[in-house]
Chains A and B, each alone.
Chain A
Amino acid sequence: MLRVRLTEKDGRIETVKISGDFFLIPEDSLAKLEKMLEDTRLDEKELKLLVDRFFRGTNAQGLGVSSDDFVKAILSTKRA
């Protein structure tokens, strides 16, 4: 299960912290993803592009979690 805590400003992510019971290697790549997400618009297309770019660019490998899971979890904070 993915849990996301974020602060937003004018529809953009200011800070984001992702936690959960997933596997992601290399483990320190999660901090990179959180950093990349800063200042990104809370928009499905934009988030999807960024998370996909993260996986391609870092060769990170998720298990029990996909690119779409990250996007969905981030967007769910918007509706809450």
Chain B
Amino acid sequence: MVETWRLVDLEYRDDPFRNMSVEEAIPRAVGEGNAPNTVRFWHNSNTIVLGCFQSADLEVNFDACKASGTEIVRRFTGGGAVYHDAGNLNYAISLKKGHPLVPGNDLQLVFQKLSEGTVEGLKSLGVNAEFQPINDIQVDGKKVSGAAGSIRWGTIFHHGCILVASDLAILGRVLNVPRLKLADRHVASVQKRVTTIRDELQKDITTRDVRDAIVRGVEKVYNVRLVEGQLSKSEEAKAKELYDTKYSSTKWNLEQ
């Protein structure tokens, strides 16, 4: 029998703090056995997302963020800072720990296995995507997606952002770069090493198109069926609690 996973399209585009609260509430519920294995898709507009071990003071150009209205939120997984806008598609996979897809306790294996559905989806669109350890998906040597993840709360968790039609130029302004790499040169170097799905395909493609392709990729690669669903009442309550106590606080987001 084909395994069924829940598909959740829940997002708060203009509230990255609420988005991140939902991002944490889902794997917690999956690990507790209160929610099925879940794939979520979502967007943020104009936000820096910091890795949980990063120092905001060191990574963020606060003046540029203020000028451009860029919000700053910290996630609960490690890795580096990323810039999100509406051209950036986020996906998250939460599987109950012990799932045969990712046996054991190996984070590198989590990144590799749980990138496969995304890679398959991108390939089906005609993008020459491949997983590149530690946590990237690349197209001909250029990064098009980065992932982060964890194994905690009894859950295998993997999330990533895919540059579909993002504004790469703003990256070098809102994130701090070493003094030697002045803004323009940094942007130039970022643009060389990073690409978008739109640029690769040379056509207008929406994040919805990419989302649909990844849904099909996940179903094919993992032999599962994704069924649209919603958060349970307890997940909603957990997300609200996480928002109130963690993700809406300056202490969590900036003072680590």
Q: Which residues of A contact B (CB under 8 A)?
A: 3, 17-27, 30, 61, 63-64
Q: Contact at A23–B148, with CB atoms within 8 Å?
A: yes
Residues of A near B81 (CB, < 8 A) are 21
Q: Contact at A26–B152, with CB atoms within 8 Å?
A: yes
Q: Contact at B54–A21, with CB atoms within 8 Å?
A: yes
Q: Contact at A21–B107, with CB atoms within 8 Å?
A: no
Q: Contact at A21–B55, with CB atoms within 8 Å?
A: no
In this complex, the member of A3, A17, A21, A61 whose beta carbon has the largest number of chain B beta carbons within 10 angstroms is A21
- A79, B57: Cα distance in complex, Å: 22
Q: Contact at B151–A25, with CB atoms within 8 Å?
A: yes
Nearest chain B residue, comparing its CB with the CB of A23: B78
SS of A interface (majority): strand
Q: Contact at A21–B80, with CB atoms within 8 Å?
A: yes
Q: Which residues of B contact A (CB under 8 A)?
A: 51-55, 58, 76-81, 105-108, 134-135, 148-152, 256
Q: Nearest-CB distance from B190 to chain A (Å)? A: 15
Residues of A near B53 (CB, < 8 A) are 18-22, 24, 27, 30
> Per a CB cutoff under 8 Å, which of B80, B105, B108, B150 touches A27?
B150
> Per a CB cutoff under 8 Å, which of A18, A19, A20, A23 touches B107?
A23
Q: Nearest-CB distance from A51 to chain B (Å)? A: 16
Residues of B near A30 (CB, < 8 A) are 53
Q: Contact at B51–A21, with CB atoms within 8 Å?
A: yes
